[in-house]
Structure 1
């Protein structure tokens, strides 16, 4: 009689490796977790001062990213219909319906906007300065960053088209948003 021994999961010594992008994604996730606004009991329920000296919610506008960029403006930027904005901790996301073309507009207000800007600079992405918009404004493929009245806002457009096609609409939307701050 021959005895055979089956392999169990504990005897399998093969190593599994995480995909190469996981460490970068994990770092970005950790960085964005630091962007959360304090709880009501912390710092009087107000956002902390930004590195540039302003507050994320001064005037109430930067505290509501869906008010900074309306659905109609997001649709004009994306060139397609989008669903209503979903506001989550300093960000607002407008997403195209599954039946339409791929499109998404994301608005990052206050600290999330500043952190997104810092991350792009830290990664060495080429940012083009935009003159006459707020205190400062920068454009890169598919995104615009601006600071006005000490408040940061970043707007990102996701489309599967040539990003430079959207440079002018991003710049125009940045001017509109800067006027609201």
Structure 2
């Protein structure tokens, strides 16, 4: 399942919605050029009409979620991701500048196998919801935000209604990294 959350932008007299695909991160642009001014902007979940001055008439669509202000790479910078993974990592993968909800550090091609992924906002919450639906064993983490859980290779944390997730991919036993992941959850919660 993918959750779509519009972020409204105005440019060239056109009201445009940037729709974030939050199942595993990504972005799609809905809207168009000045020639498409009369084309409706449609959110898959609901339609939102624009007023004559270009503002959406649905007040809830105007305010982006608090998570939009959080940069996933700032929640767990490269040096801390390397400490978590126990190996050097490449700089974060390039992504559209408007999408700060995900951050992925990969291991060097020479090895070892390693990847650290950070999600913030609806994508992090959806990741947790899916794991719950799949029956994953989630253990509470104390001292990390308002609510926090750990499972093999992944931690989830919420503070002030904003969710974040840190996922570690290594070929070693996940138990090896459990304490480091829980520590990362506390660090991330402190930055939300």
Any idea what SS the aligned residue of 2:149 has? strand
* Cα shift at 1:87: 5.8
For the residue of structure 2 that corresponds to 1:144, the secondary structure is strand
| Cα pair 1:35 1:115 within 8 Å, conserved | no
Q: How many residues are treated as equivalent by the alignment? A: 139
For residue 83 of structure 1, the aligned residue among 82, 85, 90 is 90
Q: In the alignment, what sits opposite 1:171? A: 182
Residue 47 of structure 1 corresponds to 64
Q: CA RMSD in A?
A: 1.6
User: 1:139/1:87 Cα in 2 relative to 1: closer, same or farther (>3 Å)?
Assistant: farther
Question: CA contact under 8 A between 1:117 and 1:145: conserved in structure 2?
Answer: yes
SS of equivalent to 1:67: helix
Are the aligned partners of 1:102 and 1:159 in contact in 2 as well (CA < 8 Å)?
yes
Q: Aligned equivalents of 1:87 and 1:65: distance in 2? A: 13
Runs of 5+ consecutive residues of structure 1 not aligned to the other structure? 1-30, 49-54
Q: Give 2:123's match in structure 1, choosing from 98, 109, 112.
A: 112
Over alpha carbons, which structure has the higher Rg?
1
SS class of match (1:125) = coil
TM-score by length of 2: 0.68
Alpha-carbon contact 1:65-1:87 (below 8 Å) kept = no
1:67 aligns with 2:74: yes
Deviation per CA, 1:95-139, whole angstroms, max 9, x where unpaired? 011102000000010011001011101100000001121001000
Structure 2 residue runs without a partner (length 5+): 10-15, 18-60
TM-score normalized with structure 1 length: 0.71
User: Runs ≥4 in structure 1, deviation > 4 angstroms?
Assistant: none
